Amino acid sequence: MKKTLTTLALTSAFALLSTTASAENITVFAAASMTNVLQEINKDFEQKYPQDKVTFSFASSSVLAKQIEQDAPADVFISADTKWMDYVKEKQPSKTQNVEVLVKNDLVLIAPISSKIQAENIQSVNFSKELADSYLSVGDPDHVPAGKYAKKALEYYKVWGDVENKLARAKNVRDALSFVERNEAPLGIVYSTDAKVSADKVKIVAVFPQESYGEVVYPAATTSSKPEAKKFLDFLKTPEAKAKFEAAGFYPVQ
């Protein structure tokens, strides 16, 4: 009996060691606009793979890309545009694998929920009048993808010259959203999914047509050789993950 108990104890110990050895931390660097949806998707992932632990770092794609360039320990990178994914591929070609576009998004003009501004479309917005002595909240167009899309759209409508000196340049799109949430800016340009996250604090004034700025796409890639990195990336393409993306306002790549 004593020998049997000893054998069982050893078996349990080896099983525990085996489980611990197979457990893995997965570090995901992702665009700030993906914060809420990835946290929701991760609940399903960790329920399916309880041995794996996912840690997120959310920031502007430019900041994350430069951190990966400097060998930051990222296993997965999700960018809000192709430029910063291409940057990582160029700087870390051996690390950056399995690149593909996950989802798309829309660019919108927002205002505080209490704002009286109404517009049929972007062309009907008088930016000079609405901004007056205040500022337009955007991700910094020099670095942040949402800001670059915004600049391109405003140039398309020939109003960039009117607002260039009236920009509240945020370090990422969620900070741009927060300025409008707190009524510190009368207008802001963010993604439609950001506006949806904060629907109780901001409203969409108008949607920018895609021809004014191109497409908002989210390429993703593994940036380490961990098998778990590919496992997480593959999970983002499962039906349950796609349902979460669509519920958050993202839409699939055709």
Give the Cα separation of 204 and 190 in Å (integer): 10
The arrangement of secondary structure in 107-207, i.e. its CATH architecture, is 3-Layer(aba) Sandwich (3.40)
Distances (CA, A) of 57 to 27, 140, 156, 201: 8, 19, 33, 25
Residue 149, marked binder:
no
Residue 169 corresponds to which amino acid? Answer: R
Is 212 annotated for ligand binding?
Answer: no
Instruction: Give the model confidence (pLDDT) of 77-120 as tens digits.
Output: 999 999 999 999 999 999 999 999 999 999 999 999 999 999 99
115 is in an annotated binding site: no
- Nearest of 95, 119, 96 to residue 109 by alpha carbon: 119
Category of 71 on φ-ψ map: left (φ > 0), alpha (ψ -120 to 50) or beta: left
191 is in an annotated binding site: yes
Per-residue pLDDT of the chain (254 residues; tens, 9 = 90+): 444 444 444 344 444 433 334 567 999 999 999 999 999 999 999 999 999 999 999 999 999 999 999 999 999 999 999 999 999 999 999 999 999 999 999 999 999 999 999 999 999 999 999 999 999 999 999 999 999 999 999 999 999 999 999 999 999 999 999 999 999 999 999 999 999 999 999 999 999 999 999 999 999 999 999 999 999 999 999 999 999 999 999 999 86
Model pTM score: 0.87
**What pLDDT shows up at residue 24?**
75
Q: Which CATH architecture has domain 24-104+218-252?
A: 3-Layer(aba) Sandwich (3.40)
pLDDT of residue 166: 97
What's the Rg (C-alpha) of the chain?
A: 22
Q: Is 61 annotated as a binding residue?
A: yes
What residue segments make up the domains of the chain, in order of their start?
A: 24-104+218-252, 107-207
Instruction: Note the pLDDT of residue 253.
Output: 86
Q: Do domains 24-104+218-252 and 107-207 have the same CATH topology?
A: yes
Q: Which residue has the tokens 């009368």?
A: 186
According to the model, what pLDDT value does residue 48 have? 96
Gap between the Cα atoms of 142 and 167, Å rounded: 12
In our burial notation (b when 16+ CB lie closer than 10 A, e otherwise), range 89-103 reads beebeebbeebeebb
Q: For the segment 231-247, what is each residue's pLDDT rounded down to a tens digit?
A: 999 999 999 999 999 99
What span, in angstroms and rounded, lies between the C-alpha atoms of 140 and 148? 8
CA–CA distance, 196 with 194 (Å, rounded to integer): 5
